[in-house]
Structure 1
Amino acid sequence: MATATSASSTPSSPAAPAPARRKRGLPVVRQLRQSVGLQRGMLVAGLVLAAVFLLTAALADVLAPYDFNQLRDADGPFGAQQRPSSEHLLGTTVGGYDVLSRVIYGTRTALLVIVVAVVLSLFAGVLIGLVSGYFGGWVDRVLVVVCDAVYAFPSLLLAIVVAIVLSGGQSSLWGGIMAASISITVIFIPQYFRVIRAETVRIKSEAYVESAKVIGASHWRIMTRHVLRNATRTLPLILTLNASEAILTLAGLGFLGFGIEPTAAAEWGFDLNRALSDVTSGIWWTSVFPGLAIVLVVLGLTLVGESLNDLADPRLRSRRAAESGQTGEVSVVPGGPLGAGPAGLAGIEEVR
């Protein structure tokens, strides 16, 4: 009894303030604290490039010296294929557009396509993956065959076919964005379907799901309250990597001539297509800067996705921490440790 009394009277260490705890719990902050060495450098570099991309897209109207389809100013026409100068820092295109302005406005087009494509594919893929994995039977077999057939089809060719069916290959700003987004959505749905279906098949046999069935919970409640939130923990990784793939698909469509009209919006792939003849003539600025924008944005998003993927692997994370001589909490899930299940079944929280 004395031992218990002395233990209870021992002062506990002061808890961290609530705002500080919340700050450390944020996904990006948590990953930065967990990363070490080269992994941290990759994550920081990717976050910087991604932040520059987002800020450029948000502030395109402020940063761009001209409009994306502007051909003249108060002094007259810009002129085609003008070299970089004080008036046009990155020169002009073969059509007479300012290269810098089109590169800046191209970030906005790319961001809109990423958001629409990822949101559509996320909702569709998660929904059919949840239904397929939970109910099984002939519904599961049909959906698996359909998604495998779509996944096996060449992605860019499938995007071209869908773009032609939807818009005839070229259209206005929102028409082109929706055509490109739906094309990319069709490609991404099987990826989300596979991940969610596999997790749902595993989770539906857990004890807390069986307990929910015993007490009479409906299928919809079990799917949304117990299965869905535990089956979507790896989606942030796929979202980040799919964002970079969406940019490449959009650029591929534009390069092949199935993108957005230059008078409707700026699109990097279309500008590269128009710059093909310039390369053999020694006019390098019309192709270098749109291509560099694609490379940097894809590189930034890929670095973020690969870093999150490494941090989600406890074996790889623990090995890298040991090599760097650091110890500490290692979250299995990018968004943080797994919480307790609905029936009190605690998840795997950390690996030391």
Structure 2
Amino acid sequence: MATATTVDSPVRKRTWRGLPLVKQVRQSVGLQRGMLVAGLVLTGVFVLTAVFAPLLAPYEYDQLRDANGPFGSQARPSGNHLLGTTVGGYDVLSRVIWGTRTALAVIVIAVLLSVVAGVLLGLVSGYFGGWLDRLLVVVCDAVYAFPSLLLAIVVAIAISGGQSSLIGGVLAAAISITVVFIPQYFRVVRAETVRIKSEAFVESARVIGASNWRIMARHVLRNATRTLPLILTLNASEAILTLAGLGFLGFGIQPTSAAEWGYDLKQSIADVSSGIWWTSIFPGVAIVLTVLGLTLVGESLNDLADPRLRSRRAAADGPPPAGTVEPGGAVVATDIAVGGVWGG
């Protein structure tokens, strides 16, 4: 019992190091760490800007005038308008800042709906099998075969007629993106469920009389969803591009209802040939930096799931301290009896 206490105490003292993302940053080395930190910084700036948009934006997203009069159309960057104004007379900086809030809302709703629907369908399909499994696989493969943007356009038109208010537009974009993402979560969870349901601990739970739903909720779900954070971050960046694509093609949110980067890019197409660069470059940079940050985080987490990176860290930093739990689940038993480690 004393040996078990000796093994557990270092873990309690370093609990903060096991927090999500903190643990991954510590595991990464060299260029990999730089990419992960850069992605976290860009993603953090995006999230903070969306949360504090009312405080950061000098004007409202649909504001056309102030105490001095109308803003004017296509005004160059100046002290009053740091990034200039658009062809519609909106302040570019304010539209870019408010656009982060629209993008974040779509990401959160789309990813949550996709995860809930995809995980539930994947668990049911993989665990029970049979005709339901074959039907769901065929349907998800059919959906997955469609181009994502084309499918999102069709769903957006069916839901909102192409354009709508803030709530309707966000829900239309989120639901259309959800339809595209569900097959990805379904495939991953189904494959893991098929593998896990034949494991010994699942068979033991079934033998002692646990119901199928209890086994799925308490034993299969946790083990089948370990890789979902990797897919989630990559899908978040794809959601930004899909939302911008919908707005660029004219199936997004009305400019008087919310700020949306894709719509602003569409309105600035004619400005580029006239030498008016500020109406297009800043919404485009916002899209690029946000997608880049989310992609760097997703790709870095995906790479850190590779066991070879653990050997790279071991070579760079030396052997980990005794009692440390490695990412793969192995416990380092240096200077401690192996029986005591596993007994704790």
Alignment partners' CA distance in 2, 1:143 and 1:205: 21
> Which residue is equivalent to 1:4?
none
**Out of 147, 164, 170, which is 2:140 matched to?**
147
Q: 1:61 aligns with which of 38, 47, 54?
A: 54
Counterpart in the other structure of 2:313: 321
Extract unaligned runs of 5+ from structure 1. Answer: 1-7, 340-352
Please give the alpha-carbon distance, in whole angstroms, between the structure 2 residues aligned to 1:265 and 1:14.
51
- Give the conservation status (yes or no) of the 8 Å contact 1:314–1:330: no
- Residue by residue over 1:129-168, the C-alpha shift from the partner in whole angstroms, topping out at 9 and shown as x without a partner, is 0000000011000000000000011100000000000000
Q: Does 1:84 align with 2:84?
A: no
Tell whether the 8 Å contact from 2:27 to 2:310 is kept in structure 1 after alignment: no
Pairwise CA distance, 1:214: 1.2
Amino acid at match of 1:300: G
Indicate if the aligned counterparts of 1:64 and 1:100 stay in contact, CA closer than 8 A. Answer: yes
User: Is structure 2 residue 337 aligned with structure 1 residue 331?
Assistant: no
Q: 1:258 & 1:59 partners in 2: Cα distance? A: 27
State the 4+ residue runs in structure 1 displaced beyond 2 angstroms: 11-18, 318-330
Hey, what does 2:178 align to over in structure 1? 185
Within 2, Cα distance between the matches of 1:326 and 1:276?
55
Q: Give the match for residue 299 of structure 2.
A: 306
Indicate the residue corresponding to 2:131 in structure 1.
Answer: 138
1:173–1:264 CA contact under 8 A, matched in 2: yes
State yes or no: 1:222 paired with 2:218: no
1:153 maps to a residue whose letter is: F
**Matches of 1:338 and 1:219, distance apart in 2:** 30
Superposition RMSD in Å: 2.0
Q: Which of 116, 122, 129 is residue 123 of structure 1 equivalent to? A: 116
* Residues 56 and 63, structure 1, Cα contact 8 Å, conserved in 2: yes
Q: Secondary structure, in 3 states, of the residue corresponding to 1:128?
A: helix
Question: Secondary structure at 1:161's aligned position in 2?
Answer: helix
Q: How many residues align?
A: 325
The gaps in structure 2 that reach 5 residues or longer are 332-344
Q: Which has the higher contact order (CA 8 A, sep 6+)?
A: 2
Provide, for residues 290-341 of structure 1, a one-character-per-residue CA deviation record: whole Å limited to 9, x for no partner: 00000000000011111111111112x1354367465546514xxxx499xx
Query: Conserved in 2, the CA contact under 8 Å of 1:170 and 1:259?
Result: yes
1:196-217 deviations in Å (ceiling 9; x for gaps) = 0000000000011111111111
1:32 alignment partner in structure 2: 25
Give the secondary-structure state (helix, strand or coil) at the position aligned to 2:231.
helix
User: TM-score of the superposition, structure 1-length normalised?
Assistant: 0.89
Percentage of identical aligned residues:
75
Equivalent pair of 1:180/1:250 in contact (CA under 8 Å): yes
Counterparts of 1:179 and 1:326, CA distance in 2: 52
Among 236, 248, 252, which residue is 2:245 paired with? 252
Counterpart of 2:342? none
